[in-house]
Amino acid sequence: MIEVKDIVKTFGDNHVLNGISATFKAGKNNLIIGSSGSGKTTLLKCIVGLHDPTTGDVFYDAENFTDMDFEQRVPIRKQIGMLFQNSALFDSMTVEKNIIFPLNLFTNMSAAEKRDRANFCLQRVNLVGTNNLYPSELSGGMKKRVGIARAISMQPKYLFVDEPNSGLDPKTAILIDELINEITEDFKTTTVIVTHDMNSVMGIGDHIIFLHNGEKWWEGTNHEIAHTDNAELNSFVFASPFMKAAREKL
Amino acid sequence: MFTSLGRYILLLRLSFRKPEKFSVYWAEIMREMVSVGIGSLGIVAIISVFIGAVATIQTAFQLISNLIPKTVVGQITRDSTILEFSPTITALVLAGRVGSSIASQIGTMRVTEQIDALEIMGVNAPGYLISPKIISGITMIPVLVIISVFLGLTGGYIACAASHDVSTADYIAGLKDGFNPVAATVCAVKATTFGFIITSICAYQGFYTAGGALEVGQAATRGVVYSCVMILFADLVISRLLL
């Protein structure tokens, strides 16, 4: 479980996050949604430690992550897997080397064990046989799946996903969502997903936090979101005529 | 300026933290040494031969006097090559070749979130990315400069043989005559210092790149320009202190 308490983040005079508190549950897909510039990615970066909050705290299973220095954070970071918006695969390494990179640094596994682990992760994301390809030889969807394979190589307890569906066709986007959902269930990870894709919200949103102007505006599940009377949330979720029509049928 | 200097020093401190796993870092150091050393050998060889040849021809041109022995051409070519041409011009060329590559490589990793990915994993990103480059710079650039010295002097020999301004026998006699070992020490100190300047400044510029492709290009340009200025400044300081 991950807990954030009163997170405030400012960049100069720009107040991006204004006192956000939330709990992200273990074994669930926790979605952070909101319009562009609402502070979703900044909140995610504060949670994983890429940004230090101006004030407020982040707790990983009751351990205060914000107060820790680099060395103290390493044991928690080893339990974190993250899929970046653009996958952030290491260009100079093959798919297999990308996946075993954290194993090389943090485990004493033999070469054969690492190769087996890489093959298992690739099998898990349906990319068997791509071991020796470079990221430049992969499609956008394949890069996302390799990113997921790398994220799960260390068997993470916490999985963070930033805009998993950006730049993907709807069919591939749904496949990625299903994959993330399966991993969350299989590995019992605390999964935090930043998205503004409504298919993801309705499909895998076990727990949803809606940010508006850097504040938590609404919290609930994908079943509750369809029936909320929160004006800002409704104008965000049901912005298109198609979604408005779909809501009326619900 | 002081903010940048502070960030540069802090980045260097982070770069030389204890590695997570020495074997992984060692492999990275070897890879960088090949990239810097072998990768730059061709350009260093070409410029060294030409500089040595030009230095010999121009020195011979300026010493048209029966009072000055022809062997002086060899002496002047030797000392100017060891003290100045090989370390400084090689370093300036390497700032363009190696420095821009370092800044753009690290800058691209920054804007494509690869550095964030390293940090999320718990890897000390400055240590993993920058320290192997600095170590390869301070080891391989002196080696390249030594090669450059020999090739520069060879270039001078070829110029003598081709132009007949000075006989090759006089040239070789000049090379052997009155060699002061301090020149070799100065050359080694300069090469090591320049290696550190090129790799650390360009890595710093790349590491703090923000934005996109345009900013990566700007970071690489800044890295090369600042490295060149600092090389010339360090050249002056080392020459003043050691000679």
Residue A240 maps to a domain: no
Structure tokens at B231: 């090389």
Q: Which residues contact B118 (CB under 8 A, 6 or more apart)?
A: B125, B128, B129
**Alpha helix positions (H), B63-130:** 71-80, 90-94, 100-111, 114-121, 125-129
Q: How much of chain A exceeds pLDDT 70, in percent?
A: 99
* B123 at A interface, C-beta within 8 A: yes
Residue A172 and residue A68 share a domain: yes
Residue A215 maps to a domain: yes
Residue A48 and residue A7 share a domain: yes
Crossing angle of the two packed helices B168-176 and B71-80, in degrees rounded to 10: 50
Q: Do B116 and A50 touch (CB under 8 A)?
A: yes
Structure tokens at A52: 């230090």
Q: Which residue of B20, B32, B114 to mutate against A (max A Cβ within 10 Å)? A: B114
A203 pLDDT higher than 90: no
DSSP label of B178:
T
DSSP H or E stretch at residue A190: strand A190-194
Residue A35 and residue A109 share a domain: no
Contacts of A158 in chain B (CB under 8 A): none
Crossing angle of the two packed helices B114-121 and A70-77, in degrees rounded to 10: 90
Residue range A156-192, pLDDT digits in tens: 999 999 988 887 888 888 888 998 999 999 889 999 9
Q: For position A237, what pLDDT does the model report?
A: 80
Please tell me which of the candidates B109, B116, B121 has its beta carbon nearest to residue A102.
B121
Contacts of B116 in chain A (CB under 8 A): 50, 84, 88
Residue A118 and residue A72 share a domain: no
The total domain count for chain B is 1
Q: For position B223, what pLDDT does the model report?
A: 97
C-alpha–C-alpha distance, residues A14 and A52, integer Å: 15
Q: By three-state DSSP, how is residue A224 classified?
A: helix
Residue A150 and residue A111 share a domain: yes
Residue A167 and residue A142 share a domain: no
Please tell me which of the candidates A50, A86, A90 has its beta carbon nearest to residue B119.
A50
> What is the maximum alpha-carbon separation in chain A?
58
Structure tokens at B157: 């020999």
Residue A171 and residue A151 share a domain: no
Contacts of B107 in chain A (CB under 8 A): none
Q: For position B65, what pLDDT does the model report?
A: 79
Structure tokens at B219: 């970071």
Q: By three-state DSSP, how is residue A52 classified?
A: coil
| Average pLDDT over every residue of A30-42 | 92
* Residue showing tokens 């090591």: B192
Residue A161 maps to a domain: yes
C-alpha–C-alpha distance, residues A173 and A145, integer Å: 11
Please tell me which of the candidates B113, B114, B123 has its beta carbon nearest to residue A105.
B123
Residue A249 maps to a domain: no
A143 pLDDT higher than 90: yes
The total domain count for chain A is 2
Residue A168 maps to a domain: yes
- Cβ(B54)–Cβ(B158) under 8 Å? no
Residue range A206-236, pLDDT digits in tens: 999 999 999 999 999 988 887 888 888 888 8
Q: For position B197, what pLDDT does the model report?
A: 98
The model carries a pTM of 0.89
Distance (Å) of CA B179 to CA B82, B141, B182: 11, 23, 9
Average pLDDT score over chain A: 90
Residue A10 and residue A119 share a domain: no
Q: Which amino acid is at A1?
A: M
Beta-bridge mates of residue A68: none
Please tell me which of the candidates A75, A80, A106 has its beta carbon nearest to residue B120.
A80
Burial B53-90, CB ≥16 within 10 A → b, else e: bbbbbebbeebeeeeeebbbbbbbbbbbbbbbbbbbbb
- Cβ(B49)–Cβ(B155) under 8 Å? yes
Residue A67 and residue A179 share a domain: yes
Q: For position B175, what pLDDT does the model report?
A: 94
Q: Do A86 and B112 touch (CB under 8 A)?
A: yes
Cβ neighbours of B214 (radius 10 Å)? 9
Q: For position B57, what pLDDT does the model report?
A: 94
Q: Do A74 and B122 touch (CB under 8 A)?
A: yes
Q: For position A250, what pLDDT does the model report?
A: 64
Residue A162 and residue A44 share a domain: yes
Containing structural domain, residue B184 = 2-242
Q: For position A194, what pLDDT does the model report?
A: 94
Q: Domain holding A176: CATH number?
A: 3.40.50.300
C-alpha–C-alpha distance, residues A33 and A8, integer Å: 18
Positive or negative, the Cα torsion across B130, B133, B136, B142? Answer: negative
Q: Which residues contact B144 (CB under 8 A, 6 or more apart)?
A: B36, B37, B40, B41, B44, B90, B94, B191
Please tell me which of the candidates A50, A73, A105 has its beta carbon nearest to residue B20.
A105
C-alpha–C-alpha distance, residues A149 and A126, integer Å: 10
| Average pLDDT over every residue of A129-149 | 93
Residue A161 and residue A149 share a domain: no
Contacts of B119 in chain A (CB under 8 A): 49-50, 77
Q: For position B83, what pLDDT does the model report?
A: 96
* Residue showing tokens 């965000």: A236
C-alpha–C-alpha distance, residues B213 and B210, integer Å: 10
Cβ neighbours of B110 (radius 10 Å)? 22
Which residues of A lie closer than 8 Å to B, measured between beta carbons?
48-50, 70, 73-75, 77-78, 80, 82, 84-86, 88-91, 101-102, 104-106, 154, 160
Residue A232 maps to a domain: no
Residue A231 maps to a domain: no
C-alpha–C-alpha distance, residues A54 and A14, integer Å: 12
Domain boundary among A139, A155, A171: A155
Closest-CA residue to A122 (of A94, A90, A91, A149): A149
Q: By three-state DSSP, how is residue A144 classified?
A: helix
Containing structural domain, residue A123 = 90-155
- Residue ranges in chain B whose pLDDT is less than 70: none
Residue A172 maps to a domain: yes
- Cβ(A16)–Cβ(A39) under 8 Å? yes
